[in-house]
Amino acid sequence: MSNINSDKALNILYKDDLELYQTILDNYESLTSEDIDTAYTLAKIAILQADRWNEISFELTKKYREIGYTKSDLQNWAYHRYRVLMTIHDFCRVVYRQCSEDLRNRGADYYE
């Protein structure tokens, strides 16, 4: 199989999903431990996109089973994105929880 990231068919088929995935990665990269709003938003978006990539992985697995394969590079490709998004979701939940506790303990002025 050719390089999965440069495959034109995948880029067309999953264009919106890939763009949103990249946006999530970019926002995650710029997340700070004090950014409660971004952490909350990213946690929500990441879990929704993780569900979408889980569906994509399932669709690819089903398709490849129909033609006699048990696991495919495409299924691994989608599953990897699912796992990354779940990790982002979990991390953002931790950041959000820590920020919420800090707000309760130190007050709203702490983050201004």
pLDDT at 8 exceeding the cut of 70: yes
Residue 42 falls inside a structural domain: yes
Contact criterion met (CB below 8 Å) for 68 and 43: no
Count of domains observed in the chain: 1
Instruction: Please tell me the predicted confidence (pLDDT) of residue 3.
Output: 45
pLDDT bin (cut points 50, 70, 90) of residue 1 is very low
pLDDT tens, position by position, 79-88: 999 999 999 9
Report pLDDT digits (tens) over 54-68. Answer: 999 888 888 877 877
- Average pLDDT over the chain reads 86
- Position 4 in a domain: no
- Nearest partner of 57 among 38, 28, 83, 39, judged by Cα: 83
Residue 39 CA to its chain's centroid (Å): 13
In a domain, 76, yes or no: yes
Query: Does any domain span residue 7?
Result: no
Question: Rounded distance, CA 29 to CA 24, Å?
Answer: 8
65 is in which domain, residue-wise? Answer: 15-111
**Does residue 8 fall inside a structural domain?**
no
